[in-house]
Chain A
Amino acid sequence: MDRGGANWTERAVRDAVLRGDAAAWRAWYAEHFDQLAAYARWRCGGLADLADDVTQEAWVTAVRRLRSFDPDKGPFFAWLCGIASNAARNAIRARRRHSARFRRLDADAPAAPADSAAAERVAAALAELPDHYEAVLRAKYLDRMTVAAIASESGETPKAVESLLSRARQAFREAFEKAAHD
């Protein structure tokens, strides 16, 4: 993927960070922190504690794997989102396994608040979606992009994006329903 100057900029920053330039890392971190935190919150259905864990895990993993980041394959933020997506998937699955175990042991305990339960189902449903469905839902609902803008960015026709969005919504609904019974 040719991204022109951004490509070279990110390569230069990556190399500076790998050489041990702390200032370069702080600048990179500051530039992307809010955006990644927002994505983590969205992926976790608004569950703050889970989102914080995912955000932290994503940054620490990014530092460890920074050498494998290749600007030719995509922007740094997309790479970060890929790491955060995996972290969110693992975190929500672990949380649901933990919740199920304690529900069985303590059946008389008060149920989680409705908002929290719904948020967990949202996170679980997003974790079950294929990457291209998750990406189009993120562009539509988190980034607030229009169909035309999504089509322009992805190089698809608006009609193809509408179709993809429709299928993604359907998959999300099914996963959300399924999550209610798990």
Chain B
Amino acid sequence: MTDPHDELEDLLRPRPEASTLALRGAILARTERALARLRWTRRAVRSAAVAAAVLAGAGAGWLLKPACVVEVAGADRPVPVLVPVFVGVEVDASRPPATPELLPSAAAAELQAEQLDDPAEVARLYRTAGDRFLDRHDYPNATRCYRLFLARAGDDGLTPEKGDSWLLTSLKNAAYKEKIDEPTTRD
């Protein structure tokens, strides 16, 4: 096992064991404290990591949150906007500005017809007055004006026209029959 002539034996032999009881207890207590500290540090780091992850998530959610948009019903539909458009028009300064021809009321047309002498114009005004009275559902005055129109218009007024009202058409038919039947009656 050992060489009796080994000069290093005296220097390197195992040293006698000293009493290590106190040292053993002291080191054990210190290592246990260190282990407890490591456990708490690990838990704290883990908790901090979880908290940081939660905060990071919340922060990212807050930052990436879409801006509040107020929905307006029908906002996607085009809204018509009136835009004034100016168009250059050459105006003959020598002519008076044209005024729109206003349709005369029934009474005015009838009054105008009584004041004129031109039979054609008088017939046209009575017909206009008849149309106005018919529009107001004034059937007696409408019939009266239409009969004055037929009296002034002569035979040409008996010809049915496209713009005739139902009452005028009916009166034309009646006048036409009356005209045809007239010789027979005379006979």
Contacts and interface: CB of A to CB of B under 8 A. Distances in A.
Interface stretch (A37-45, A81-89, A101-109): A37-45
Contact of A64 (B1, B12, B16, B34): B34
B11 interface: yes
Interface string A16-54: 010010100110010001100110011001101001100
B3 to A, nearest CB: 10
B38 to A, nearest CB: 7
Chain A interface, >50% SS class? helix
A165 to B, nearest CB: 10
B8 A169 contact: yes
B contact residues, range: 20 to 34
A172 B17 contact: no
Interface in B23-55: 23-24, 26-28, 30-32, 34-36, 38-39
B13 A141 contact: yes
Given A29-B28, A56-B30, A141 B38 contact: no
Contact of B28 (A20, A26, A48, A141): A26
B80 interface: no
Given A34-B20, A64-B38, A41 B15 contact: yes
A122 B14 CA distance: 12
A59 B36 CA distance: 15
Contacts of A22: 32, 35
A64 B42 CA distance: 12
B103 interface: no
A92 interface: no
A169 B6 CA distance: 10
A146 B3 CA distance: 10
B123 to A, nearest CB: 120
Contacts of A33: 20, 24, 27
B18 interface: yes
Contacts of A56: 23, 26-27, 30
Given A48-B18, A141-B13, A60 B31 contact: yes
A29 B31 contact: yes
B185 interface: no
A42 B39 contact: no
6 tightest A-B CB contacts, nearest first? A141-B12, A46-B15, A41-B15, A63-B34, A63-B31, A20-B39
Interface of B: 1-2, 8-9, 11-18, 20, 23-24, 26-28, 30-32, 34-36, 38-39
Interface of A: 17, 20, 22, 25-26, 29, 33-34, 37-38, 41-42, 45-46, 48, 51-52, 55-56, 59-60, 62-64, 118, 122, 137, 140-142, 144, 146, 169, 172-173, 176
